[in-house]
Amino acid sequence: MGLRNQNQWGDSNNDPTSGGQSGGGLRLALPKPTPAVIAIMIACAALFIIPIFSTTLRSWLFKNLDISLSGAGEVWRFITFQFLHADASHFMWNMVGLYFFAPPLERAWGSRHFTAFYLFCGTVAGLCYIVMSMVVPNLSPLVGASGGIMGCLMACAILYPEMIFIIVPIRWAAAFLVALYLLSILSDRNYSDAAHLGGMMAAAIWIAAGRAAAHYDWGPWSIADRMRQRSRQRQAQRLAKLQQEADRILDKVHTQGIASLTDREKKTLQDATRLQREHDRQGR
C-alpha cells in the first residue's frame, strides 16, 4: 500500500496488511467489512474503474482532485485526493489495508466517529506532504488512501497491541514502518512517505485527544459517548414498558385467542418485536 507521487506510478511500495478478531486476540482473519469501510471502498473503486474507460475523465479527475502545493488553497483536495489511486497495485493494496485495519475501529467507535478519524488522518497526511513540498521544490501531485489507512494501522497498534501484522505484533510493525518511512525520505528521497508518517501521527494525536477528553469529561468524544449512552438508556426503558404490555397481550391471546386482539394491541406486539431486535443488534 502506499501514497504515491504521480511521477512514481511505476514504483512498487506495497505493504500488505492483515488483521481481524479471532480466539483470544486479534489475528489473521476475514472480518466482515463495516458500513463506512464499504462506502469508502466503493468510492475508491468507482474513481479508479470508471476513468479507465475515459482518458479525458481521468485527466480531469487528477487535475482537479489530487493534492499539490499549487492546489493547496482548494481545500476540497485534502479530502478528494484520498479517493484517487495511481495504478492497479496501488489501489488493490490500499483496499487490502483498509479491509483489515479499519473495521475493528469502526466497530469500536461507530461509523461517524470512524469516518471523521479516517478523513482527519488523510487530511493531515496531505498537509504533511504540502509542508514537504515547501521544502523540496517541484514535487508531483499526490494521490492515495494510505494516509487514512496508515492512521488505521497506528490506531490499531495503540488500541489493539495483541493484533498480529503478518507474523509480528502490530506495535513492532508500526515502529518498523515509522523507521522505514523516515529512512525512505532521508536516503531514497521518497517524499510521499511524509504523508504516511503524517497519517500515523494524526492517529496518535486523535487517540491522545480522545483519552484526554474522556479523562477531563469534555470535548466531542465524551459528549458523543454520553449521548449514545442516554439513547441506549431511553431505548431500554421504552423496551421494558413495551415488554410489560406485550406480556399482558400474550396472556390475553393465551386465554381469549388471537382474534380477541385489537389493532392497537397487534401494533404493540410488532413494536416490541422490532425494538427488541434493534436492541439485540446494538448489543452485539
- What are the backbone angles phi and psi of residue 2, rounded to the nearest 5°? 175, 140
CA atoms of 30 and 80, how far apart (whole Å): 28
Q: What is the pLDDT of residue 231?
A: 72
Q: How many domains does the chain have?
A: 2
Query: Which phi and psi (to 5°) does residue 276 adopt?
Result: -65, -40
- Whether 31 and 165 map to the same domain: the answer is yes
Domain C-terminal end among 216, 246, 268: 216
- Cα 275 to Cα 267: distance, rounded to the nearest angstrom: 12
Query: Is residue 140 domain-shared with residue 15, that is, in the same domain?
Result: yes
For residue 4, the Cα-to-chain-centroid distance in whole angstroms is: 20
**At 216, which helix (H) or strand (E)?**
helix 193-216
- 190: phi > 0 → left, psi -120 to 50 → alpha, else beta; which? beta
Same domain, 8 and 107: yes
Q: How far does Cα 133 stand from its chain's mean position?
A: 27
Note whether 203 and 77 are same-domain residues.
yes
CATH number at residue 186: 1.20.1540.10
- Among 170, 194, 216, give the residue marking a domain's end: 216
187 shares its domain with 268: no
191 and 260, same structural domain?
A: no
Specify whether 84 is located in the same domain as 173. Answer: yes
Q: Are 79 and 185 found together in one domain?
A: yes
236 and 183, same domain (yes or no): no
Q: What is the pLDDT along the chain (284 residues), one digit of tens a residue?
A: 555 554 433 233 333 333 344 334 444 446 789 999 999 999 999 999 999 999 999 999 999 999 999 888 999 999 999 999 999 999 999 999 999 999 999 999 999 999 999 999 999 999 999 999 999 988 999 999 999 999 999 999 999 998 988 888 999 999 999 999 999 999 888 898 999 999 999 999 999 988 877 666 555 555 566 666 777 777 778 888 888 888 888 888 888 888 888 888 888 888 888 877 776 665 54
Domain co-membership, 248 together with 181:
no
Are 160 and 171 in a shared domain?
yes
pLDDT for residue 277: 75
Domain boundary among 200, 216, 232: 216
Domain region containing 93? 4-216
